[in-house]
Amino acid sequence: MTRALAVVVTGGTDNWSPARWRDRFAMRLPDRPVVLLPDGAADLAAITYAAVWKPPAGLLARLPNLRVVFNLGAGVDGVLADPTLPNVPLVRAVSPDLTGRMTEYVVMQVLLHHRRWFHLMACQRERRWAPGLQWAARDLRVGVLGLGVLGRDSAQVLARLGFQVAGWSRAPQRVEGIACFAGRDQLDSFLARTDILVCLLPLTADTRGLVDRALLKKLARNGPLGGPILINAGRGGLHVEADVIAALDDGTLAGASLDVFEIEPLPLRSPLWAHPKVIVTPHNAADSDADVLAADVADQITAFERGAALANVVDRAIGY
């Protein structure tokens, strides 16, 4: 058996150009074939590993000797949505590089709202010298939905900056300096003490549509920002976009930073593009780095073939 690696990267340019990923893997795994799929001429029976980003449904099922699927992002909702996904271990991306990038994004967005970026930019456009009131970080309560690899790091860095930080997870957690809430029973208390809601949950059957109008109404309304703020860098399916827009329009939300959307790319017709209270970014809060991930996957393959257990294997029953 040749033990080839298939690279399946769909629909990307720039960072997600398929050839770019194929080249990085070929550099890291010089002793084995690295093939870019779909490729009509490829020997599918020789493929034992697949490194994937948004693989077309049904493609992985055509690899009869597949042993491991490595997802090139942290979120696996797209891969798990394929009903024909072979029953082999699914490994997701976890790396300090990815975590650091997400923490940069979350901290940047929290600071933009905290330091009144919309107000300052409006003043600059109008040549108006109007510093206004600026409160301290300790006056703001940030709540992070999802206290996993990414949420925990963002929460801890925000806490070090002085914000009052809480996190919400499925199972109870202990994170130093963070007020930890868990499960649906504690969700309302978590929301009631939150001025800025950061969403870093995986998209699962349990979390889809969680951030809806009813949830947004439960956020704190007595903070210094004039209303709560939503930052979603998890997945677009976590929020109900029509509810978010309605909440922005009627003042339930004072602002939002959205990196992920129900439909991506965000359709041109979406009012979010030009909404005066919204910062839109194109699902690049934390890009996967091809050099870092190719090295991580190559290391995992080497260790796996020596008999070691794979790290960061997804629990398919719970969906993350």
**What are the residues binding ligand OXD (CB under 6 A)?**
73-75, 93, 288
Give the number of C-alpha atoms closer than 13 A to the C-alpha of residue 195, restricted to the C-beta side.
Answer: 19
Which entry of 160, 235, 239, 306 is annotated as an active-site residue?
235
* Residue 213 interaction partner, one of ligand NDP, ligand OXD, none, beta carbon < 5-8 Å per kind: none
Judge whether 283 counts as a catalytic residue.
yes
- The residue among 31 and 315 lying less far from ligand NDP, judged by its C-beta, is 315
Candidates 3, 20, 170, 316; binder of ligand NDP (CB under 6 A) is 170
Q: Which does 199 bind (CB under 5 to 8 A by kind): ligand OXD, ligand NDP, none?
A: none
Residue 37: contacted member of ligand OXD, ligand NDP, none (CB under 5 to 8 Å, by partner type): none
CB under 5 to 8 A by kind: which of ligand OXD, ligand NDP, none does 21 bind? none
CB of 58 to ligand NDP, least distance (A): 23
Q: Among 103, 204, 252, 257, which residue interacts with ligand NDP (rule: CB under 6 A)? A: 204
Angle CA 293–296–301, to nearest 5: 125
- The Cα–Cα gap between 29 and 26 comes to 5
Decide the pairing of beta strands 229-232 and 255-258: parallel
The single residue among 201, 225, 247, 253 that binds ligand NDP, judged by CB under 6 A, is: 201
Inter-residue contact 310 to 195 (CB < 8 Å): no
Nearest 5°: CA angle at 132, between 250 and 226?
25
CB of 297 to ligand OXD, least distance (A): 14
CB 269 within 8 A of CB 241: no
Shortest gap between Cβ of 31 and ligand OXD (angstroms)? 28
Residue 38 Ramachandran class (φ > 0 left, ψ -120 to 50 alpha, else beta)? beta
Our answer to whether residue 235 is catalytic in this structure is yes
Query: Which residues are bridge partners to 144 per DSSP?
Result: 167, 198
Q: Describe the crossing of helices 96-114 and 149-160 by its angle, rounded to 10 degrees.
A: 50
In the chain the beta strands, taken as DSSP E runs, fall at 4-9, 34-36, 47-53, 68-71, 90-91, 141-145, 164-169, 179-182, 196-199, 229-232, 255-258, 278-280
233 binds, among ligand NDP, ligand OXD, none (CB under 5 to 8 A by kind): ligand NDP
Q: How many residues bind ligand NDP (CB under 6 A)?
A: 32
Q: Does 20 bind ligand NDP (CB under 6 A)?
A: no
The whole-angstrom separation of Cα 261 and Cα 245 is 12
Closest contact distance (angstroms) between CB of 128 and ligand OXD is 38
Q: Are 280 and 233 contacting, i.e. CB atoms less than 8 angstroms apart?
A: no
Residue of minimal CB distance from ligand OXD?
73
- Asked if residue 237 binds ligand NDP (CB under 6 A), the reply is no
Residues with catalytic roles: 235, 283
Binding site for ligand NDP (CB under 6 A): 73-75, 102, 146-151, 168-171, 173, 200-204, 206-207, 233-235, 259-260, 283-286, 320
